[in-house]
Chain A
């Protein structure tokens, strides 16, 4: 089970390797895309500035240095879809990522792009993004038509569901799951909204909107109205946690945000292949702190530390037990017995 970390530039590499990253992923938004589509249409689910590399030279140097450190680099081409007019450019970018820059895998969502790339015989392997919403074993069987080497499962699967999928996959394909940082209130692959800077994420946006209830059963009493209002407030609190607890950090600077650390022993037992730390756009410090936290827990799990001790350690690392106790910061519900 590997630790997959986000990277945005070569300067972050040494630090991430030292912190314990074992695989890397990144995005690139080259000039030719920006010239054609401005910043309104995202090539890889991140804006052009801040979350992605910008030049081919940057990518080549990053991949070469990562390979020197024995780490593979996966590159995102994970927009939900590309139009007919975009596809030739995207295919060309994929070829360059693989053959020129030496990327080890391309992370793809669009089933059409996946099918086209499967016919290209590129050096890079193909990973199916979580945005493809692979929620069941039958979907993996369908995806196998296109020869991916890995599927990234959505955040919204439970440990039991992940276990079933890994068992059904029978080792024919690697399974990657989310481990730390950003959440998503929606099923990522079935969210048709944009995070464009002018409007922001829909889920957090909703928390600031006026909401009115209409009751469709007999007798809408004030008690029922208050019940609905309290639930809405709880939901908005849950969204706050998904959004990195207001993008905050502990007094020592460790990042808040959705977390699967307590589930590491279970995920190791299940046979998951990779744990994803989210946040290409995050600061270098947040990335490093995130990798350190995950590495600490993974090393204990790998070393055979009893499960409950690992969970205790994970909670201690988060430093804010009230956030853990809220139940809203966890990717996966684990049994503490």
Chain B
């Protein structure tokens, strides 16, 4: 199994590509304990992890697409160090697609994660030397941390409840016809989040699987609360509106104080246009067990919320 790390730029590669070196990259006091917990569980299960590759880019916002020079710098440094390189791309409008076309022309013979069928079409037609990987936004599964963890813990394993839980632990990639469809379009690898309700990875013998930790996405939007900071009240919250990357200035932590269940201390994190959950220790441990069983081809450690301006 491979270990990759999500970098924000070549400066992150100045450190030794070791778990102990990159875990402190998160500067947020809210998030630091979550990243450290993940690093501890990884170290407990796998010892001193050395990353053999890096991911760069973001999956959630076309306004955070890097400048071509930044992409070239990250790609070049990874190559120089002999590290694998994967470029993450978000869902995009036509305008974002035009910017992405320029970026894709700056890299070659490497992986590109697509989270938009239009991006896959572009990759296949114009960039055959890039290897498409289906991103976690297109790998569909319910991962609502408000309730899915509760399902995972409390549903009786009998009858319809068992069928429900079994279905919730699967994703769109579960079907043989789906992985065959991906193969038809040249896609042999998929990415996903670790699910609060647990995961059934029985499909993993048909496709290479990457899983991210310690943050999973809940929901994302073309309307960005942070971008609203730059507008007059009536002009706020317009889809795709230009921004000044206000998302980079702050983080919002929500506490599920209005839960109908016992999880009233559960936290959700909003960075820019996307909400995330953090993996709990049981989720991390379960993920490590799946990795040990050989069902995961790559674990991607994200020392920061994946909304960094590159």
Q: Which residues does A use to contact B, with CB under 8 Å?
A: 35-38, 40-41, 80-87, 110-112, 115-116, 132-143, 155-158, 161, 164-165, 168, 185-187, 190-194, 196, 198-199, 202-203, 205-206, 208-217, 227-228, 231-232, 234-235, 238, 325-328, 333
- Chain B contacts of A227 at CB under 8 A? 229
Q: A115-B177, A161-B95 are in contact. List 18 more A-B contacts (CB 8 A).
A: A81-B141, A81-B171, A83-B167, A85-B170, A134-B117, A135-B118, A137-B97, A141-B118, A156-B239, A157-B93, A157-B239, A161-B94, A185-B223, A192-B140, A213-B250, A215-B250, A216-B249, A234-B228
Interfacial chain B residues near A217, Cβ < 8 Å: 248-250
A133 and B92 alpha carbons, distance in the complex (Å)? 10
Q: Is the CB of A199 within 8 A of B235?
A: no
B140, B163, B249: the one contacting A36 at CB < 8 Å is B163
Q: Is B218 an interface residue (CB 8 A)?
A: yes
List residues of chain B with CB under 8 Å of any chain A CB: 27-30, 91-97, 115-122, 137, 140-144, 146-147, 151, 160-161, 163-164, 166-168, 170-172, 174-178, 181, 217-223, 225-226, 228-229, 233-240, 248-260, 268, 275
When the two chains form their complex, are residues A205 and B258 in contact, meaning their CB atoms are under 8 A apart?
yes
Q: Are A228 and B92 in touch, CB under 8 angstroms?
A: no
Chain B neighbourhood of A35, CB < 8 A: 160
Q: Are B117 and A193 in contact (CB under 8 A)?
A: no
Chain B residue nearest to A143 in the complex (CB): B117
Contact of B225 among A190, A210, A231 (CB under 8 A): A231
Distance between B13 CB and nearest chain A CB, rounded to angstroms? 22
Within 8 Å by CB of B253, from A85, A211, A326, lies: A211
CA distance A70 to B258 in the complex (A): 48
Cα A139 to Cα B140 with chains together (Å):
17
Report which residue of B92, B115, B223 has the largest number of chain A beta carbons within 10 angstroms of its beta carbon: B223
Asked if B91 and A135 make an inter-chain contact with CB atoms under 8 angstroms apart, the answer reads: yes
B172 is contacted by which of A112, A168, A208 (Cβ under 8 Å)? A112
Q: Quick one: which of B27, B141, B234, B260 has the most chain A CB within 10 A?
A: B234
> When the two chains form their complex, are residues A192 and B219 in contact, meaning their CB atoms are under 8 A apart?
yes
CB-CB nearest 10 A-B residue pairs? A138-B118, A139-B118, A327-B234, A81-B172, A81-B140, A142-B121, A156-B239, A156-B222, A112-B178, A193-B144
CA distance A196 to B142 in the complex (A): 11
The answer to whether A194 touches B142, judged by C-beta atoms less than 8 angstroms apart, is yes
Residues of B within 8 A of A86 (CB): 167
In the complex the two chains form, is A327's CB within 8 Å of B121's CB?
Answer: no
A186 touches B240 (CB 8 A): no
Neighbouring B residues of A333 by C-beta, 8 Å: 238
Is B253 touching A214 in the complex (CB atoms < 8 A)? yes
Chain B min CB distance to A122 (Å): 17
Q: Is A115's CB under 8 angstroms from B237's CB?
A: no
- Nearest CB to that of B232 among chain A residues? A327
Q: Bound state CA distance, A201 and B124, in angstroms?
A: 37
Complex contact A156–B223 (CB within 8 A): yes
* Measured CA separation A23–B140 after assembly (Å): 30
Instruction: Give the residues in chain A near B146, CB-CB below 8 Å.
Output: 193, 199, 202, 205
Given known A-B contacts A156-B240, A216-B28, A216-B248, A136 and B97 have beta carbons under 8 A apart: yes
Task: Report chain A residues within 8 Å CB of B228.
Answer: 231, 234-235
What is the bound-complex CA distance between A81 and B167, given in angstroms?
Answer: 11
* A206 with B181, Cβ < 8 A, contacts A38-B164, A84-B174, A138-B97 known: no
